Structure 1
Amino acid sequence: MTIPNDYLERVYAGVLGKLIGVYLGRPFEQWTHQRIMRELGPIEYYVNEQLNEPLVVTDDDVAGTFTFVRALEDYGITADLSAEDIGKAWLNYIVEEKSILWWGGNGNSTEHTAWLNLKNGIPAPHSGSMATNGSTVAEQIGAQIFVDGWALVSPCQPQLAAQLAQKAGSVSHDGESVYAAMLWAAMEAEAFRSADINHLIDTGLSVIPKDSLIAKLIAEIRDWRKTDDDWMVTRQRIEDQYGYAQYPGNCHVVPNHALMIMSVLYAPDDFQRAQMIVNTSGWDTDCNAGNVGCLMGIMLGLEGIDAGPDWRGPIADRLLISSADGGNSINDAVRMAYYLANLGLTLAGHAPLSAPKAGAQFHFSLPGSTQGFRSQDGQIRLSVTNIATEHGRALAARFEALGPGQVAAVTTPVFSPREVLQMKVYDLMATPLIYPGQDLEAAVAADVSNIGALSVTLRLRVYDEYDNLRTLDSAPVALQPGDSSVLRWTIPDLRGQPIAEIGVAFTASGKRADGCIVIDHVRWSGAPQLTLQRPEEEGTFWRMAWVNGVSFFSKRFPPSFRISQDRGDGIIIHGTRQWTDYTVESDVMLHLGTAGGLAARVQGLRRYYALRLVRKGRLQIIKVRDDVTTILAEAAFPVELEVTVSMKLMVLGTRILGEADGTAIEACDDGDQAFLDGGIGLVISDGAISTPSITIGAAETMIADVDTAKETSDVLR
């Protein structure tokens, strides 16, 4: 399969286009055209400040699009990926009533309805079919709004994009909704090699039934476009013939699809104008603008996005994904572009891209990318831009009139921003990306043309007891003009509070400094070394740093962590997929339930290893994968309620070692479906469990202790 030479950059432009459209349209979602014109006028640029809302927010369009495509990673990067496998990804990554979806009720929200079907054992595609849910529920907009990821991994392959979109859409939708998704996915896949909008539409029409309503309305809109010079006239025709009044439900696909087709026909080569038309037209603005933005981004590239106003600067690549994999939640368009491009390359039979700059998390390798880095609020004149250097692309922080005692800083989020408290409708499930015990590094240089010397530090911004950000800096390094340095810092203990931002800060060493600091990369590495517990200075965000997959996560009981699950299995999760080999230990108390304990290498709600106490008198190491729980090792163990048990769980390569009050067991998982990475968790089945603290440390330190415990257990037996 031929891959375009600029594939990665086009994927990046598609992701950016999606984000721009969603964040532009989100503040006035579901407004009518008439209300938009009356209160805002034509939507030429972001209006979030006018409506007193954050710009970068959690939204189902973004979260679903960039989560459901992960089914390829989990179940096989193949064109034969099934709807049932994508449905399994829904159950693994969606936290009930908390993440990704609009939880509007069974029979009201199509996605909520489908999720309940999946939860109740109805597999996809039956979970989304008309036969199961009726035509009204099945033909709302959701299949279309989540479709872009499947196209981004299928460059120049419209049939493949439509095939994947059909399977993904059928998890929750049916009928015209799935046809709309298939058509748009095919258009986006073809946009990697064509900028002819009519050719793209014809390509989309080729993958859906010719007698479908979607095909009929497109033919009519094309005819109207030939006679109507003003898009407003066509928009009124759409409202009269295909508007919300003509279709049941709260957000039908047909009216919104019609507005999308109209927008690209009236602005086939103008990103900004297409966004203006689709947003000013009203109804489901964030969904429509997101799909249009992704298509136009792929088709026109970064140059097309940059041809109008500064769409990219305010967003700064930031991307929020609320899911059960909390380490994927604080994301950016660069990281997502590399992820999707590597899926697409693998799907096409090509080798994946090499990780830039030896795997640095922030490397700024794509044109214009800033990966969330922005100037901290302050009075220093400081701009942040992406530049080309002899070593590749980098981030430039330019400053003027920086005096002694004045500190300039550029930082990027690595956990939920404070604005999350203002976000409406969609919660953000997230865990921090970086932790105490890990090594933070930044390669920096003072431009040779700088005036004055600088003192440079690494910077952390950490939440305090009032949910404000306090600043911690590493030891300073002096940089004369032309000097460079690699700043390194082992993150200190933070008393249980999460790190919100990381970056670089600098001040003048003399009377004044002017010029530029160049940041080549920022990375962190190593296993975390920390104890998680309720901080002395509590606040809100330390608890928000856990993905909450249980019925009740207590705020009031004395133990730091007391969780309860009404039915079935529950888990709270902390950490990221960067974690590989480590030990987790805790003194736990089972208050009620069939089983409970510690989890490791957690990759969502239904993918992890666990060491658990079983009420029937067993200690087990288990593997949970989808709806299958496999006992990997077990031993007899006296389990009593309201008794503290000291538990340790270690993962090291293929070895999984567990110990509870001196009883040790070990398992090995070296199969193709082994979990190689992931965070930690506290698990409970049908009851409640608590612990005052949870400690994460290096794996090797536990081996000798567990081996000794195993020998003792063998002797006693």
Structure 2
Amino acid sequence: MQRDYLEKVYAGFLGMNVGIRLGAPVEPTIWTYERIQRTYGDITDYVKEFKNFAADDDANGPVYFLRALDDEDLSEGLRPKHVGNAWLNYAREGIGMFWWGGYGVSTEHTAYLNLLRGIEAPMSGSKMQNGKVVADQIGGQIFIDTWGLISPNDPKQAADFAEAAARVSHDDEGVYGARFMAACIAAAFSESNPMKIIEIGLREIPEDSKYYEVTKNVIFYYQNYPEDWRSCMKYLHEEWGYDKYPGVCHIIPNAGVCILSLLYGEGDFNRTVEIATMCGWDTDCNAGNVGTIMGVAVGIEGIKKNYLKPINDFIALSGISGYLNILDVPSYAKKVATLAYQMTGESAPEELLMNFSEKELIFDFELPGSTHNFRVSDPFYCSVYNTEEQAFSGKRSLGVLFDRMVRGKKSKVFIKPYYRREDFSDERYMPVFSPKAYPGQHVSLMLNLDRWNGESMYISTYIRNTRTKEEVILESRVVAEKGWKEWSFVIPDLGGDMIDEIGLIVEGNSPDKYKDLGVLYIDDFKVEGKAKYSIDISRQKKEFSSITPFSHNHGAWEIEGEYMSCMCLDHAEAMTGNYFMEDYKVCGIVIPVHGESHLISARVQGAMKGYYAGFTSENKVSILKNEFGLQNLISVDYAWELGKEYKFSFDVQGYLLKFYINGEKIAEVSDDSYAYGMTGYAKYGLGRSLFGNLSVEES
């Protein structure tokens, strides 16, 4: 693997998200090319500010569909059915993930419903099943970026992977677009010339395809009129416009925009995504795809700071797992890199393996420019930046510049392990969240003070209660001398509340005439260990159509006092917690109100995978397994009553699954299908339940 592979993955994934964020505000079709030009002129920066960018289907797909590599047996290679399973497992039906525009209208919605009803991929996305118009829409190429990122310098592999993924929902031109884009991304690891990248991509699609034809025509136009991208856009409107290609968002006109922006961007990442946005049509998709290509090609140094700073290494997703929906970009780049090493059979570098975990937070700041989403509460006094000035381990750390602070003036320096509706400007794609850190876990970090002026600094570690906004101070020290020092603490129990900030409070400790200036360096920030916490339902809120901190799939959910009320016709589920929890005991209060199915869950890995225990029919208790269909592992007699409150406990240790009611063990069974997963409540049948407080203890 090339030396700078990880850095290029990081730059490519950031480049994709820069393009998405830049293009999203002008994506709706009301934003015509002419209207964008009149309103914004020559775009050189984001056209809209967001508190945090909520979510986007163009980011959801590349992250969640790649998980097929984690979940499936690939001994015979990647197949469309493998990625189809990821669609079913990681999407909440009808909300988030992608555009649910209706059967026969939205290609993705159509494919999902086909899959759900047993039409396997690739038939689920075929023109035979869905018709050519639906099969040729743009979605084939907008979800494939990560297949290129795991295939450095191997355009053929990237194209084949992307085709397998695209055939879940697309056919013909939609598939050719997937092959082309993934091949271009793979090629960009060693080629930075856009024309040569395009030529490599063209080798992976049929010469008699419309995709090939529009690409060649735009190249020809560029070679004759290389100075005027707007005249080329006029040509696209006249010869390749939406009026000639039916459907909501056809791939061919947008392919023309991607080629135009790559060529007229002339190897400049920033100009490339700007042109793709100014062209109109499917702006976030087009800018996202070319952003990945050029991000890989030019590296992080080629992306302007005004595009990187608002992202700050954080992407919100809107899949089924609230834990996975909080994505730290450097950590995800490492995830992609480890998959690439596995695919090649090459040993991953030791430093990569040591500084990456999906279950825990490990922030080493080793990628150039990385911040791991550290932020400050008062930018007048403090700012953060990645630096090689100091490092406890490796070569880099996070610098916190504090500027002319005096006694009593302070700023928080923190990460957000949990997000709420108030943290976002809008509800794009309805993201839902479960915390990345919990009571009982251990937080550690290394600090080094370089004081330029003043007497000393007063530094405290803290967490914040997301409901009350109370900052819980854990340790405070007066720091005056240089030298790396370890700070650590255990996240305290908050009585059923979640935490949404972890970090430091940096406070000046000098009088006015000795203003504090200098840099505080942070390195090796970690949140690890076993969690022990509870969720008090009465302290939660309904946000993004889900009750915090759960994600819901199906059913009607409301808070009724100290309970979550759930009613459904056939299935409903509430999931929460660390997606990678292994051995643990979960306890919850359940009141069966109507119907026969009232369950607690463990090791849930999505809509199609997990264990469940509880009432399943009259006078029956069962432990069930969902493996793309519900299976009964064990059933026992138990006389239960509607309207009565029960305490359920589900203990999963290794292969052993034990279920208790009111402290009495009722059922026990062994199964080795799932080693980790989320927890929560569920129903698999008509009825209504009240679900109370939930507690989790890892072992």
Fold conserved between structures, TM > 0.5: yes
1:229-266 CA distance string (max 9 Å, x none): 31111111011111112111111111111000111112
Aligned to 2:535: 532
Deviation at 1:549, TM superposition (A): 1.2
Equivalences for residues 422-433 of structure 1 within 5 A: 422-433=425-436
In 2, the alpha carbon distance for the partners of 1:411 and 1:68 equals 31
Give me the whole-angstrom Cα distance separating, in 1, the residues matched to 2:696 and 2:195. 56
Paired residue for 2:36? 36
Q: Distance in 1 between matches of 2:698 and 2:370?
A: 35
Amino acid of the residue matched to residue 383 of structure 2?
Answer: L
Alignment partners' CA distance in 2, 1:612 and 1:605: 18
Partner residue of 2:54? 57
Matches within 5 A, 1:171-190: 171-190=168-187
Give the drift of 1:300.
1.4
Q: Which amino acid aligns with 1:552?
A: A
CA contact (8 A) 1:102 1:425 kept: no
Q: 1:501: Cα distance to partner?
A: 2.4
Alignment match of 1:617 (pick from 616, 619, 639): 619
1:322 aligns with 2:325: no
Q: Which moved more, 1:227-236 or 1:607-616?
A: 607-616
1:239 to 231, 237, 261: 237
Deviations 1:481-534 (A, max 9, x none): 204332222222324332222222211333342111111022222222222122
* Cα deviation 1:192-235 (Å, max 9, x = unaligned): 12223233222222221110000111111111011113111111
| 1:340-393 alpha-carbon deviations (Å, 9 max, x no partner) | 111111011123454345855222121110011121146424343343534221
After superposition, the Cα gap between the structure-2 partners of 1:418 and 1:597, relative to the gap in structure 1 and judged at 3 Å, is closer
What's the C-alpha RMSD, in Å, of the aligned pairs? 2.1
Matched, 1:630 2:664: no
Aligned-partner SS, 2:153: coil
Task: Say which SS state the counterpart of residue 121 (structure 1) adopts.
Answer: coil
Q: Whole-Å Cα distance in 2 between the matches of residues 133 and 652 of structure 1?
A: 45
The residue that corresponds to 2:363 in the other structure is 362
Partners of 2:119 and 2:327 in 1: how far apart? 32
1:179 to partner: Cα distance: 0.6
Matched, 1:550 2:578: no
Q: In 2 relative to 1, CA 79–300 (structure 1 residues): closer, same or farther, beyond 3 Å?
A: farther
Q: Which amino acid aligns with 2:604?
A: V
**Counterpart secondary structure, 2:504:** strand
CA distance in 1, matches of 2:522, 2:675: 32
8 Å contact 2:497–2:539 — kept in the other structure?
no
The one-letter code of the counterpart of 1:365 is E
Alpha-carbon separation, structure 2, partners of 1:16 and 1:537: 33
User: What is aligned with 1:399?
Assistant: 402
Look up the equivalent residue of 1:513 and give its one-letter code.
D
Maintained 8 Å contact 1:356/1:363: no
* 2:695 corresponding residue in structure 1: 695
Residue 456 of structure 2 aligns with which residue? 453
Structure 1 outlier segments of 4+, above 6 Å: none
**Inter-partner Cα distance in structure 1 for 2:602 and 2:637:** 22
Shift of 1:584: 0.5
2:254 pairs with 1:293? no
Alignment of 1:84-103 (within 5 A): 84-103=81-100
DSSP-derived class of the 1:286 partner: helix
Residues 1:110 and 1:206: Cα distance change in structure 2 (over 3 Å): same
> 1:616, 1:525 → 2: CA distance?
42
Q: CA deviation at 1:288?
A: 0.4
CA distance 1:594–1:160, change in 2 (3 Å): farther
Residues 1:338 and 2:334 aligned together: yes
Secondary structure of 1:4's aligned partner: coil
Shift in Å, 1:622: 2.3
Q: CA deviation at 1:423?
A: 1.6
Partner Cα distance (1:695, 1:372) in 2: 29
1-side partners of 2:444 and 2:467: how far apart?
A: 24
The aligned counterpart of 1:650 is: 651
Q: Secondary structure in 1 aligned to 2:319?
A: coil
> Residue 590 and residue 351 in structure 1: after superposition, are their counterparts in 2 closer, same or farther (change >3 A)?
farther
Preserved contact between residue 335 and residue 356 of structure 2 (Cα < 8 Å): no
- Aligned AA (2:524): H
Q: Distance in 1 between matches of 2:341 and 2:99?
A: 32
Q: For residues 378 and 179 of structure 2, what CA distance do their matches in structure 1 show?
A: 44
8 Å contact kept, 1:77–1:343: no
Deviation at 1:652, TM superposition (A): 1.9
Instruction: Tell me which amino acid in the other structure corresponds to 2:479.
Output: L
1:587 touches 1:646 (CA, 8 Å); kept in 2?
yes
Please, which of 461, 464, 467 is the counterpart of residue 464 of structure 1?
467
The 8 Å contact of residues 451 and 516 in structure 2, kept in 1 or not, is answered as no
Question: More deviation in 338-347 or 583-592?
Answer: 583-592
Partner of 1:382: 383
Q: Secondary structure at the match of 1:389?
A: coil
How much does 1:136 deviate?
1.6
Deviations 1:104-156 (A, max 9, x none): 12222111111111112211111111111112211111111101011111111
Change (3 A) 1:562 1:515: same
| Residues 75, 213 of structure 1: alpha-carbon distance in 2 compared, 3 angstrom cutoff | same
Q: Which moved more, 1:539-548 or 1:522-531?
A: 539-548
Q: d(CA) in 1 for partners of 2:404 and 2:290?
A: 43
Within the candidate set 407, 411, 415, 1:412 is matched to: 415
Give CA deviations for 1:247-294 in whole Å, capped at 9, x if unaligned.
Answer: 111111111110001111122311111122111111111110000000
Q: Give 1:450 shift.
A: 5.8
